Structure 1
């Protein structure tokens, strides 16, 4: 994980407005959201896993699944997930288990981030700052 200091940190926005602005740019709400926090993820590449720019946020009024929720942005960071190739050794056995555990566990959820994408991540943050703050 590589943190990228940003003018976005601590800024508040209506979650709906952020979604309307960021989704057309290629951002998605990450699958790690909960009722009080989440993140916008931008997939930079999928070389030997997945490389993302992640922009975390936390709800400051209401819950993320409520209408009109305001969120505060955290410090953006670059993240790399490296997935196993082949069968997951830790998946539940049997046909019933396979029906619910079809995806392999990450081989390394905090894999080393490829250096060649760091400047791209920094440029993405600068672009976000200009889209949201200028």
Structure 2
């Protein structure tokens, strides 16, 4: 995990407005959300595992499933997940069990972040600052 200091940290926004601005640019709400916190993830690469820019947020007012929820952004950071290979080889499962077993556990959830993508992450944060703070 590589933190990237940013002026967006601590800023409060409507979650709806953030989604309108960020989703068209390739950001998704990460799967690790709860009713009081979550994150926007931007996939930088999936060459060896997955490399993301993650922008965490916490609820200021309401819950994430509320239309009028406001959130405070945390410090963006770069994150790398290396997934186990070969888990799906020669597996025959029915639709029912596939609905529970569709994702593999990370082999290394805190894998080293490839240096060639660090500048990309910093540029993405600068872009976020332009989009959200101007």
Q: Give yes or no for the alignment of 1:12 onto 2:12.
A: yes
Distance 1:27 1:96 in 2: 29
Task: Give the corresponding residue for 1:102.
Answer: 102
Distance 2:71 2:104 in 1: 32
- Summarize deviations over 1:83-120 as a string: whole Å, max 9, x none: 001128xxxxx979953223321100110000000000
TM-score by length of 1: 0.91
Match of 1:16, SS state, is: helix
How well do the aligned residues superpose, as a CA RMSD in angstroms?
1.7
Task: Give the corresponding residue for 2:3.
Answer: 3
Task: Give the corresponding residue for 1:117.
Answer: 117
Gaps of 5+ in 1: 89-93
Gaps of 5+ in 2: none
Q: How many aligned residue pairs are there?
A: 129
Task: Give the corresponding residue for 1:83.
Answer: 83
Match of 1:68, SS state, is: coil
- Summarize deviations over 1:63-96 as a string: whole Å, max 9, x none: 00011000000000000000001128xxxxx979
